Structure 1
């Protein structure tokens, strides 16, 4: 295979991998900080800034993911979720799943 064909093949494979929507390279801890979760839920989800906000470290991942989706789509709406609703545009569903899994593996 010529270097030119190898380069084109490699670029094609990389494009397919990046466009597949798979969150393989995503890091839960980094996303938690970058998507501003840390601002309300604390450094690792154990010390929220307000007593009304939940401690989310150690919760089950499917539960966390379901709650994030409900807040994002407006299904869950209460006084505590209003602030979160305003930042949910910063995170997509793949990223939510990665953050939920990371939080689930933290001690309570």
Structure 2
């Protein structure tokens, strides 16, 4: 008689785009380096840090700072026009642009977050 021992299922549970963004933010976040008058955090600095943290989730596929490796089928995002990046993300979010995973990831971002991420990548040189 042969006894079979069941094997555990080694499966990583799927994560949504906001969960990946939160994970990336925890890994890549840095404290604000400047403050406004009276030592209060500068709103522009906070917004820039939030945008950078949200954009960090994109770097796992699109490369560090949005620069995909040479020969990659995934496009680089760094330095592309903000309007173009935002429009493409909105198309993914609406499901009007075909994709493998981007349509699911884009649904996890608000319109303001998409605009901030597009602005961040557009500013990367």
Is TM-score (shorter-chain normalized) higher than 0.5? Answer: yes
Aligned to 2:115: 97
Whether the 8 Å CA contact 2:68–2:74 is kept in 1: the answer is no
Aligned to 1:73: 94
* Residue correspondences, number: 80
Which 4+ residue blocks in structure 1 deviate beyond 4 angstroms?
A: none
Instruction: Assess, with a 3 A threshold, how the Cα gap between structure 1 residues 50 and 37 changes in structure 2: closer, same or farther.
Output: farther
Specify the SS of the correspondent of 1:67: helix
Aligned to 1:21: none
CA RMSD, 1 decimal: 2.3
Whether the 8 Å CA contact 1:39–1:49 is kept in 2: the answer is no
Q: Which has the higher contact order (CA 8 A, sep 6+)?
A: 1
Q: When the two structures are superposed, what TM-score results if normalisation uses the length of structure 1?
A: 0.65
* Gapped regions of structure 1 (runs ≥ 5): 1-23
Instruction: Assess, with a 3 A threshold, how the Cα gap between structure 1 residues 67 and 51 changes in structure 2: closer, same or farther.
Output: same
Q: Measure the CA separation in 2 of the matches of 1:103 and 1:71.
A: 17
Specify the SS of the correspondent of 2:66: coil
